[in-house]
A and B are shown apart, each in its own frame.
Chain A
Amino acid sequence: MSLPLGLEVGTLLLKWHLQNTKIIKPSDSRLATQNSGPTSMSIESLDPRVTRLQIEPEPNPLPKPALDQLITFEVFHQKKEGLPFTYVGPVHAADEEIAFLFAKEQYSRRAMCSGMWIASTEHVFVSGYADDSTSVYDTMPSVYVTPEGPEQSYEIFHLKKRGKAHQHVCTVTARSSEHALEVARQTLNPAPPVVSVWIIPSIHVLRQEEDRDMWATTPEKKYREAIAYRVQDKIDRFKAEQKA
């Protein structure tokens, strides 16, 4: 059985690459300065950015310190002015403000967005999850004893279908997260399905209400839209030329 042509060419080129991916050893490593390309033993890559990193190919990596990862924040975005805030996913960050920057980059970079809310994961109270056809509110005990304590405001989010995203439905005043769930049940009395409810104290939701212009950056970057590439026109022109 003969090798496919591509494999032969590929194998040859791989050999070429391996022979040409050399490790440079300057005679005196003290001569190597910051921006003068690879130093002794560093990787010379096809990617000049990698070459500039001056990476040792066989480093003795120090063991990574245990759990130096950052905490997580849950992100809700608003697609358009007036629409409810909807869950988009988490980000890892050191604090709310960095979380906001990461979230803006991660979740509003490509799609239309007119606003974002951020809350630390630990501040989200979760009701549990029901089936797609039922309501978590129906699984709650019918008698509820209102707790003691000061009142504050809570944001209520509903999940209508598993695999979809939680959406903001209202703000209630209550004495605890559990109490907020009860208040939401009484005031909304929503028809099923409500698969799951998330509750966040309003003071723990970071919002960006000023500076609305910052969201208006997406439309000008047309090169990121599939529609900007008129491939078929080029193919048709090519085919017509081939015929002529």
Chain B
Amino acid sequence: MYGGGNVFEATKFDDLEQEDPVKLAEFEARIARGEKIEPSDWMPQLYRKQLIRMIEQHAHSEIIGALPEGTWITRAPGFRRKLAQMAKVQDEVGHAQLLYSAAETLGKTREQMLTDLINGKSKYSNVFNYPAFTWADSNIISWLIDAGAIVNQMANAKGSYGPYCRALDRICAEEAFHLKYGHDAVVHMATGSPIQRKMIQEALNRWWPPIMTFFGPSDKMSMHTETLMRWKVKMASNDACRQQFLDMYVPKIWELGLTVPDPKLRKNEEGVWEYTEPDWDEFKRVINGDGPCNAERLAVRRTAEERGAWVRRALLAPKATYVRPLA
């Protein structure tokens, strides 16, 4: 995963008028030419702030996203599945490392990002505040949450910030395995015994509402959104991503004889998917801390940070000085 970047409200669109008009014009011309921005380039404050926020939330989503799937590592059915599940979860943690480094090039330290995560100040993709009750839930996450993430990440990989693009190229290459692994696991259950079919259908029922909120509420089209799209920070609207996801995956769900738990879901004559509007009140409530797993997710991260502190202290030579990475 997990491009949570489109999900949350943006930084304030205020001080664009205070930017140097000549530098701003050069910056915009570079993006219009299709060139990437590198960390040492001049950039508007809004661009920097928005990217830090987006990449940081993406990184948090990867590292927290490792927890629901990690739930089933110890009880994965069979050694091969255990190996694959571990490899996938390790990839997600690796994605977090890549993304923290990309955000760091913009001037926020990885340490500050981790601190903001464990203090509840920064957000991550809301879907990970829900539990993986069974192995089948884990399969649905591996397939469909990763599928949603890939829609997001493929779009963002065409964005304008060099370090984020480099990280996303690597991430997208690794995601190919996640998607196939997840799909294979769901197909195995869906084509298995009646009990297996029931398990996977129930997991799909549980995960469908969070999946439908994955890309966030419809964007309010504003000057702000238009600017971020022109700067290639935001690459597609939330609704466009959701439509693309539905178009790619609903047929794949249906061909397994599974039911999507939304009686209104259908593709209309114009080729647009219609669906029951997700419960955005629940979404807001959960993202603000009141979900089934928020407390546990953050407690696990905080514990990892606290119980690892002695290792960092032991390793940190007094002469070591921190320098921001280059790209």
Residues of A within 8 A of B (CB): 1, 3-7, 9-10, 13-14, 17-18, 21, 43, 45-50, 53, 55-57, 59, 61-62, 64-65, 67-72, 74, 87-92, 94-95, 98, 105-106, 109-111, 120-122, 124, 126, 128-129, 131-132, 162-166, 195-196, 198, 221, 223-231, 234-235, 237-239, 242
Contacts and interface: CB of A to CB of B under 8 A. Distances in A.
Nearest to B74: A48
Interface string B58-89: 00000000010011111100001001100100
Contacts of A234: 184, 187-188, 191
B312 A231 contact: no
Interface string B175-189: 011011101100110
Contact of A43 (B30, B207, B296, B316): B296
A162 to B, nearest CB: 4
Contact of A165 (B35, B73, B166, B312): B166
Interface size class of B (residues with CB under 8 A): 35 or more
B327 A87 contact: yes
A50 B304 CA distance: 11
B35 A89 contact: no
B292 interface: yes
Contacts of A64: 111, 115, 305, 309
B261 A235 contact: no
Contacts of B303: 53, 55
Nearest to B206: A10
A110 B257 contact: no
A7 B279 contact: yes
Given A238-B191, A238-B256, A90 B184 contact: no
A71 B205 CA distance: 45
A32 B38 CA distance: 54
B313 interface: yes
Contacts of A4: 208-209, 261-264, 276
A6 B315 contact: no
Contacts of A89: 98, 101, 166-167, 170, 325
B110 interface: yes
Contacts of A198: 326
Contacts of A231: 180, 183-184, 187
Given A14-B292, A68-B309, A55 B299 contact: yes
A95 B166 CA distance: 25
Nearest to A61: B302
Interface centre among B170, B209, B327, by most chain A C-beta atoms within 10 angstroms, is B327
Given A59-B299, A223-B83, 4 more contacts: A50-B300, A68-B312, A89-B101, A235-B256
B35 A121 contact: no
B324 interface: yes
Interface in B260-313: 260-264, 276, 279, 292, 295-296, 299-300, 302-303, 305-306, 309, 312-313
B36 interface: yes
Contacts of B111: 64, 67-69
A1 B279 CA distance: 12
A224 B177 contact: yes
Contact of A162 (B35, B84, B292): B35
Contacts of B324: 72, 121
Contacts of A239: 255
A71 B296 contact: no
A88 B214 CA distance: 30
26 contacts: A4-B264, A6-B204, A13-B206, A14-B292, A18-B292, A45-B71, A46-B71, A46-B133, A48-B74, A55-B299, A57-B296, A69-B322, A71-B322, A72-B104, A72-B325, A74-B326, A94-B312, A128-B40, A132-B33, A221-B87, A223-B80, A224-B87, A225-B177, A231-B187, A234-B188, A242-B257
Contacts of A225: 177
- Top-7 shortest CB links A-B: A6-B261, A163-B36, A94-B315, A90-B325, A47-B71, A162-B36, A69-B111
Nearest to B320: A71
Contact of B162 (A10, A18, A68, A163): A163
Given A68-B316, A132-B35, A47 B101 contact: no
Contacts of B133: 13, 17, 46
B91 interface: yes
Interface in B184-204: 184, 187-188, 190-191, 202, 204
